DNA sequence: ACGTTGTTGCGAATGGTTCCTACTACCCCT
DNA sequence: AGGGGTAGTAGGAACCATTCGCAACAACGT
């Protein structure tokens, strides 16, 4: 089994997700809909606070805690996931965007890493320890190409 | 170059470290000494708070913020490192104990992973993106053998 | 329309960590 | 061995990300 296991499902739009929410006994509230619109829009790796700001441009009264609650619920339904990129706050994105994360400790940049890159580690860890990694949820820290070049130049000087 | 790069050095005892502290313009205070004694003692993966409790058994007035400050300073000197194991607080240990961390999302257990297991990932990521990972600092989340077995049994039922 | 009950807004609480400030105690110098 | 300069300290407030409690609200089935 490769690293990418089956999605519990992959809803393609806001309405599909809201239908799923209702199936699960939930309700299609406005804040939920707007949040989903933002999640389906461009740009990944948004923090709860960033999402709140975006939502509040449309519906100013939506509270940050509502964002957190909805993200939690959507995560339970398998629609979104969060990832921790280094020391800062968690970032959220659609569960359909599957990739690992690399986070530079020097400049803070985040790179997306195709899941295939993790297969070697996954196999090694599974074989040695019976542990099945989830390479989506964590960021791997380290140093990006640009910062490495810069640091090497400084070391030479 | 393999994943394990050179240590800036590897002091073998409390007194060696304190000598180094002084070289760097620092002072050998009692709280520093006691903290180091605790770090050199048995048992890895201690949080700042746990270390504070241990130190306070000997010197009750040592404040938590002093622990943090000293850990930060010792980390600057390359004597200790911290790692993030899943969602909880950071854990600290001597920089000489080099290993990666695997953290089970189900039961919270932490496994130590020999650095060699990360070589495949390190090579893949370096080749694909020029990114140099630091497998010590982050924990890789996932599911340990025991939890996987338990979850598989439930799924079959 | 109506009531049930899932949701929300709001603020307060939490956990982990950092920052500020006046006091303390190392340690270098004589 | 004692004094002074300064790193370090206790204590607590501030901070950030997140969660909780609760009363008011609003979806949805009927």
Q: What is the residue range of A141's domain?
A: 14-156
Q: What is the CATH number of the domain that holds A116?
A: 1.10.10.10
Q: Is residue B102 part of a domain?
A: yes
Q: Which residues of B touch A135 (CB under 8 A)?
A: 140
SS3 state of residue A81:
strand
Q: What is the 3-state secondary structure (H, E, C) of B44-111?
A: CCEEHHHHHHHHHHHCCCCCHHHHHHHHHHHHHCCCEEEEECCCCCEEEEECCCCCEEEEECCCCCEE
Residue A92: inside a domain: yes
Rounded to whole angstroms, the distance from the CA of residue B38 to the C1' of nucleotide C29 is 34
Two tokens at B126? 């370096």
The packing angle between helices A30-40 and A64-76, to 10°, is 70
pLDDT single digits (tens) B77-106: 999 999 988 888 999 999 988 889 999 888
Domain membership of residue B84 (yes or no) is yes
User: Contact A141/B139, CB-based, under 8 Å?
Assistant: no
Task: Give the Cα separation of B48 and B62 in Å (integer).
Answer: 12
C-alpha B84, offset from chain centre:
8
pLDDT of A117 reads 94
Listed residue (B98, B94, B90) closest to B40, CA to CA: B94
Give the B-side interface with A, CB within 8 Å. 84, 102, 104-105, 111, 113-114, 116-118, 120-121, 123-125, 128-135, 137-145, 148
Between A11 and A63, the more confident residue is A63
Residue-wise pLDDT for A82-137, tens only, equals 998 888 899 999 998 889 999 988 888 889 999 999 999 999 999 999 999 988 88
Nucleotide C10 C1' to residue A62 CA (A) = 11
Give the other-Cβ count within 10 Å of B20's Cβ: 16
pLDDT at B119: 94
Question: What does the pLDDT profile of chain B (157 residues) look like in tens digits?
Answer: 554 444 445 667 999 999 999 999 999 999 999 999 999 998 778 999 999 999 999 999 999 999 999 999 999 999 999 998 888 899 999 998 888 999 988 888 889 999 999 999 999 999 999 999 988 888 898 999 998 998 888 777 6
Could you tell me whether strands B90-94 and B139-143 are parallel, antiparallel, or unpaired per DSSP bridges?
Answer: unpaired
* Cα–Cα distance, A59 to B141 (Å, whole number): 36
Q: Do A141 and B118 touch (CB under 8 A)?
A: no
Model confidence band, residue A34 (pLDDT cutoffs 50, 70, 90):
very high
What is the model's pLDDT at position B157?
62
Domain-embedded: residue A3: no
Residues 6+ positions from A45 with CB-CB distance below 8 Å:
A83, A85, A91, A93, A110
Contacts of B126 (CB under 8 A, 6+ apart): B132, B133
Rg (CA), chain B: 18
| Nearest Cβ partner for B121 among A104, A111, A117 | A117
Q: pTM here?
A: 0.86
Residue A2 has pLDDT above 60, yes or no: no
Token code pair at residue A102: 């690399």
**Assigned domain for B2 exists:** no
Beta strands at A110-113 and B100-104: parallel, antiparallel or unpaired: unpaired
User: Is residue A64 included in any domain, yes or no?
Assistant: yes
In a domain, B114, yes or no: yes
Residue A9: pLDDT band with limits 50, 70, 90: low
Please indicate, yes or no, if residue B6 is contained in any of the structural domains: no
Which of A120, A132, A134 has its CB closest to that of B121? A120
* Structural contact between residues A66 and A7, judged by C-beta atoms closer than 8 angstroms: no
Closest Cα to residue B144, out of B98, B110, B99? B110
Q: Which residues pair with A84 in a beta bridge?
A: A90, A138
Q: CB-CB: which of A118, A121, A141 is closest to B134?
A: A141
Minimal Cα distance from B129: which residue of A? A145
Count of domains for chain B: 1
* Cα dihedral A136, A99, A141, A81 in deg (nearest 10): -40
pLDDT above 60: residue A39: yes
């Amino acid at each position: 089994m490769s690293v990418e296991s089956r999605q519990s499902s992959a809803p393609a739009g806001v309405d599909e997700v809201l239908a799923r929410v209702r199936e699960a006994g939930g309700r299609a509230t406005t804040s939920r809909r707007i949040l989903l619109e933002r999640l389906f829009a461009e740009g990944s790796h948004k923090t709860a606070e960033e999402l709140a700001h975006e939502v509040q441009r449309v519906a100013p009264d939506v509270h940050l805690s509502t964002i957190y609650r909805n993200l939690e619920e959507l995560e339970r339904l398998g629609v979104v996931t969060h990832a921790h990129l280094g020391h800062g706050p968690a970032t959220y994105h659609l569960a359909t965007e599957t990739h690992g994360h690399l986070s530079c400790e020097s400049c803070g940049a985040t790179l997306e890493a195709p899941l295939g890159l993790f297969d070697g580690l996954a196999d090694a860890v599974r074989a040695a320890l019976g542990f099945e990694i989830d390479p989506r949820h964590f960021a791997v820290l380290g140093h990006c190409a640009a910062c490495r070049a810069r640091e090497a130049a400084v070391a030479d000087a």
